[in-house]
Structure 1
Amino acid sequence: MRLSAVPALFLACLALSGCASSSEPENLVAGVAMKETTGSVIQPAAPVPSVGVGKSSRIAAPQAETLAWAGAMPEPKAFAQQRTVGMPLPSERPVAMLMPERPDVQPAPGRGRMQIYSRRFRDAKPINFGRVSPRDYPVHGVDVSRWQGDIDWAKLRSQGANFAYIKATDGGDHLDPMFKTNWRKAGEAGLKRGAYHFFYWCRTAGEQADWFIRNVPRDPDALPPVIDVEWNGESSCKAKLSRKRVLEKMQVFMDKIERYYGQRPIIYTAPDFYEDNLSGELTDYPFWLRAVAQHPSKVYPGRKWLFWQYSGSGLSHGVDGKIDLNVFHGSVEQWHNWISPRAS
């Protein structure tokens, strides 16, 4: 009885095994994973090469200047070959040079001099400045910050931007996120460039100077650094210091900047701050004055100036939105003479 049951049991096992193999895919029985496409992820035909995260995965870009974004603070020191500190100011009388109806590129006099592009800017809020207007000055430029976004610098230059002041820092810990890009691209487009610092009245002047030095290259071809001093109602710092304290803090900052960069800084200011703190002061410093409704001679009587910011509503190809417009106080020849110590 036991012997006859074994073959029957064996045949029954074979039958069950055949049913199992016919009810499942062969690749599962063999232990092979199915090549399915799940969701929207499509498996590549060839293996994907391993790419490291970091420097090895970056696309090579044109070499840019190395900025001191981190690390130990450098000790302020003068250039090895010290330049004469301070800059000659152009003649106090404005240069009357009317622009042609169709402004074209003016050939730069002298070998190796930068080309001067005539003004082609427009203004969303044009002003009649009277007898002497911004058009009477041949060398125009702009100042920019993160709010201008991604700038086409070559196009902006062809519209009349011969120089650019670029926001670098404010306070003791804020860096404009577009500074590095704007600094590099403005230089590549052939503009004379400089950096400015927005002064914060609730931070020590020494800290602010160190922060500017840490982030702005010491480039002998750059325009002099700028300290932007004004009252800012939107700032979290509501302090309104006395004239004496304002001048003390400015002097600390400017002295440290001058020692490090070898150039006397330019003071940018607006009418209300100037009247409160700067009228009659700091006569041995160059000034960059904001006057968007009248000529600087009307707004800042008796003050010699180097740059005039005449509009905060400029329009230009190469920039989305509005941009600040400026002029240099002098002729083309005076411009070349002024920048010659900083010419490449």
Structure 2
Amino acid sequence: MRRLSGLSAIFLACVALSACGFGGGRDRAERPSRETTSSVVRPASPVPSTNIVAGDVQPAAPQEALAWAGPPPEPQAFMPAERAAGMPVPSERPIAMLAPDNPAIETAPQGGRARIYSHRFRDAKPINFGKRSPRKLAVHGVDVSRWQGDIDWVKLRTQGANFAYIKATDGGDHLDPMFKKNWRRAQAAGLKRGAYHFFYWCRTAGEQADWFIRNVPREPDALPPVIDVEWNGESSCKRRPSPERVREKMQVFMDKLERHYGQRPIIYTAPDFYRDNLKGAFPNHPFWLRSVAAHPSKVYPGRKWLFWQYSGSGLSHGVDGRIDLNVFNGGEEDWHNWVAARSS
């Protein structure tokens, strides 16, 4: 091989130094809460970030006094123990997911009923539910959190999202950073929307209720609040209280919310948690049941339900990635009557 000239060596050295200078740093994003609901798979790309009031590590609380009283606790500073490197967000949706830029949204006249959009979702992991398919029910909707990123609510509604449950809080000090934006935009797009709270078993029920109340507006057109109770293996809280204690804590939380919002909260749960704690309990509360492989009547025998979460792998215009799909237990007239009763 020929020896490099002095000028060539200097040129190559400059190129190497330049590459090192531009490739040395990586953007870092604060690690979000591990409290997630249902079967949504976390996206590979980061979701929009914001200033979070408090961190994802929920400190263990002392033995709870069920008759919790006093002012709501002040949020703690967000001090995550680790940081994860960010990844680029795809600039475009796949061609198969494209929809018109301005789909027509029909709004109801003053005092009228909003249009029900028919089901147009797809599913990455479709299930044959047989004769009792959720497709045979009229009013479908979604539940979302920060993991869905920036949602085009108008497109999502035209795909069949007539209602949305939006994650608001978990534990006693974490606010989903997309909640306020999703709350406003879902309403602007004409969806009926409600908020849910992921219950954390290492915090008192009273302070969790106060945290939810502090962050979720009391609005006459909102759907009833939801308490999400399930076992989460990724949670920093490893406690699994006795069934009696579980139900006591839930009752304290739900009673506080019912007094504040004037609506009885809905209980969201999954099969294993229901089997361990809720079978036969709370007969006067509406239930929202997760059952992604069979009809709820097979998974929760004898339990009446209001909402059924039938998929955690839905695909829709307006959302990048997967989304939870749900359906209301009734026809269009039942839906309109139920919504009207909530608003009165």
Give TM-score, length-normalised by structure 1: 0.69
Q: By how many angstroms is 1:147 displaced?
A: 0.2
- Residues 203 and 333 (structure 1 numbering): CA distance in 2 closer, same or farther, change over 3 Å? same
Superposed CA offset, 1:208-267 (max 9, x none): 000000000001110000000000000000001100000000000000010000000000
Give secondary structure in 2 for the equivalent of 1:131.
Answer: helix
Give the C-alpha shift of residue 156 in structure 1.
0.1
The answer for the alignment partner of 2:254 in structure 1 is 254
What is the alpha-carbon distance in structure 1 between the residues aligned to residue 146 and residue 233 of structure 2?
A: 20
Give 1:106 deviation, angstroms: 10
Query: Residue in 2 aligned with 1:112?
Result: 112
Equivalent position of 2:288 in the other structure: 288
User: What is the 5 A alignment of 1:64-103?
Assistant: none
The equivalent of 1:181 in structure 2 is 181
- The 8 Å contact of residues 186 and 193 in structure 2, kept in 1 or not, is answered as yes
Question: 1:295 offset after TM fit, Å?
Answer: 0.2
Question: In 2, distance between residues paired with 1:193 and 1:263?
Answer: 14
2:341, 2:252 → 1: CA distance?
25
State how far apart, in whole Å, the 2-side matches of 1:157 and 1:217 are: 22
Q: Is the 1:121–1:159 Cα contact (8 Å) retained in structure 2?
A: yes
SS in 2 for 1:220: coil
Bigger radius of gyration, 1 or 2? 1
Superimposed CA distance per residue, residues 26-72 of structure 1 (whole angstroms, 9 cap, x where no aligned partner): xxxxxxxxxxxxxxxxxxxxxxxxxxxxxxxxxxxxxxxxxxx99x9
Q: How far apart, in 2, do the equivalents of 1:192 and 1:158 lie?
A: 13
Q: Which residue matches 1:4?
A: none
Give the superposition deviation at 1:131.
1.3
Q: Does 1:205 align with 2:205?
A: yes
- Per the TM alignment, residue 111 of structure 1 is displaced from its structure 2 partner at its CA by 6.4
Please tell me the root mean square deviation across aligned C-alpha atoms, in Å.
2.3
Q: What stretches of structure 2 of length at least 5 have no aligned partner?
A: 1-52, 55-69, 73-103
- Which residue matches 1:64? none
Fraction of identical pairs, as percent: 80
Q: 1:106–1:118: 8 Å Cα contact kept in structure 2?
A: no
Could you tell me how far apart the structure 2 residues matched to 1:73 and 1:144 are? 30
Tell me the SS of whatever aligns to 1:155. Answer: helix
Counterpart residue type for residue 113 of structure 2:
R
AA partner of residue 195 (structure 2): A
CA positional deviation for 1:342: 3.8
| Displacement of 1:184 | 0.2
Q: Is the 8 A contact 1:73 1:214 kept in 2?
A: no
**2:224/2:342 contact within 8 Å kept:** no
Cα deviations across residues 256-305 of structure 1 (Å, max 9, x unaligned)? 01000000000000000000000011000000000000000000000000
Report Cα offsets for 1:110-159 as digits up to 9, x if no partner.
Answer: 96101000000000000001111010100000000000000000000000
TM-score (norm 2): 0.69
User: Within 5 A, what are the aligned runs for 1:1-344?
Assistant: 112-343=112-343
Q: Distance in 2 between matches of 1:112 and 1:73?
A: 41
Q: SS in structure 2 opposite 1:312?
A: strand
Contact persistence 2:228–2:268 (CA under 8 A): yes
Cα distance change, pair 296–200 in 1 and its aligned pair in 2 (3 A) = same
Tell me, yes or no, if the aligned pair for 1:105 and 1:118 is still in contact at 8 Å: no
Q: Distance in 1 between matches of 2:216 and 2:111?
A: 30
Question: Structure 1: 5+ residue runs without aligned partners?
Answer: 1-68, 75-103
Cα distance 1:334–1:275, how it changes in 2: closer, same or farther (>3 A)? same
